[in-house]
Amino acid sequence: MASLDNTGWSLPGLLVAVLLVFELGVLQICGLEVSTGKVSRVEAMNGSTVLLPCTYSSCIGIYKLAFNWHFNDNGTMIKLCEGEVHSEGVEPKVKVEHKRVEFVGSSKTNNISILLWNITFEDDGDYTCFAVNPKEKFRNHSTIFTLKVVDQMSEVDNTLTVIIGSVLGGVIGLVIIVMVIKALVVQFLLKDDEKNKECLVNASGNDNTENGLTGAKADNKGTPKEEKCQKGLK
């Protein structure tokens, strides 16, 4: 006979309830999801070809994943294509039901995207990507991609970008000029320092000669270069 706790639950029943809550939590956290990526709306020129992106994911895995695409035509859902991914890594079987639709997805990348060729203004609207996974007790999920058809692309105001670029260019140019001037000043100072050192060495040699350190008679008259160095030192 199963034991009962103070709440009236039997132990097996309590375990089943815990497992059920856990299973529902796992399904909720990492169950089937479909997504159009970071961009869920695109603006395209009349007559161009547009990619309608959709990918699926599930940490539980898939089995006989069924999916389809629909276009919302003023409240009427028009089926564009449908297909099934039998299992992981198996390419889907797809049935296209619109003459300007091409399936470009692959199960290798969990991709069920489609191309819409030669779009017209009548193609403007919402496109729904739907999928259901029997492996997750037929959990399903959908996402909407919005297409805006225009006769010409809207101009992007690049004024701020131009201003920022000009300011950055000016700052970089100023930094380069300052660095060049600094390099020239340092080079000039180094050359002047070398001349001063040379003058000091020559002056020291002359003093030693006059004091008889070299054993030769000194000539009191210096060379033009030595006189120039002495003037520079003064």
Q: What is the pTM of this model?
A: 0.56
Q: Tell me, yes or no, whether 123 and 38 share the same domain.
A: yes
Greater confidence (8 vs 100) lies with 100
> Would you place residue 180 in the very low, low, confident or very high pLDDT band (cuts 50, 70, 90)?
confident
Which among 120, 150, 180 is the end of a domain?
150
pLDDT of residue 187: 80
pLDDT of residue 165: 76
Q: Tell me, yes or no, whether 142 and 173 share the same domain.
A: no
Q: Is the pLDDT of residue 215 over 50?
A: no
Residue 121 lies in a domain: yes
Q: Tell me, yes or no, whether 202 and 142 share the same domain.
A: no
pLDDT of residue 21: 37
> Would you place residue 183 in the very low, low, confident or very high pLDDT band (cuts 50, 70, 90)?
confident
Which among 150, 173, 191 is the end of a domain?
150
Q: Is 72 left (phi over 0), alpha (psi -120 to 50) or beta?
A: beta
pLDDT of residue 17: 40
Residue 20 lies in a domain: no
Query: Hey, is 69 helix, strand or coil?
Result: strand
Q: Tell me, yes or no, whether 185 and 102 share the same domain.
A: no
Q: Tell me, yes or no, whether 176 and 95 share the same domain.
A: no
Q: Tell me, yes or no, whether 132 and 164 share the same domain.
A: no
Sheet holding 114-116, edge to edge: 50-52, 114-116, 101-103
Q: For residue 132, what are the domain limits?
A: 29-150
Q: With contact defined as beta carbons under 8 Å apart, do 45 and 120 qualify?
A: no
> Would you place residue 6 in the very low, low, confident or very high pLDDT band (cuts 50, 70, 90)?
low
Structure token pair of residue 217: 């008679």
Q: What is the pLDDT of residues 48-73, one digit of tens each?
A: 999 999 999 998 999 999 999 999 99
pLDDT of residue 184: 83
Q: CATH no. for residue 38? A: 2.60.40.10
How many domains, in total, are found in the chain? 2
pLDDT of residue 51: 97
Greater confidence (111 vs 162) lies with 111
DSSP run (H or E) holding 16: helix 11-30
In the structure, how many helices (H) and strands (E) does the chain have?
3, 11
pLDDT of residue 202: 63
End-to-end, the C-alpha distance of the chain in Å comes to 117
**Phi, psi dihedrals of residue 108, rounded to the nearest 5°:** -65, -30
Residues whose CB falls within 8 Å of the CB of residue 95, separated by 6 or more in sequence, listed in order? 81, 82, 83
> Would you place residue 22 in the very low, low, confident or very high pLDDT band (cuts 50, 70, 90)?
very low
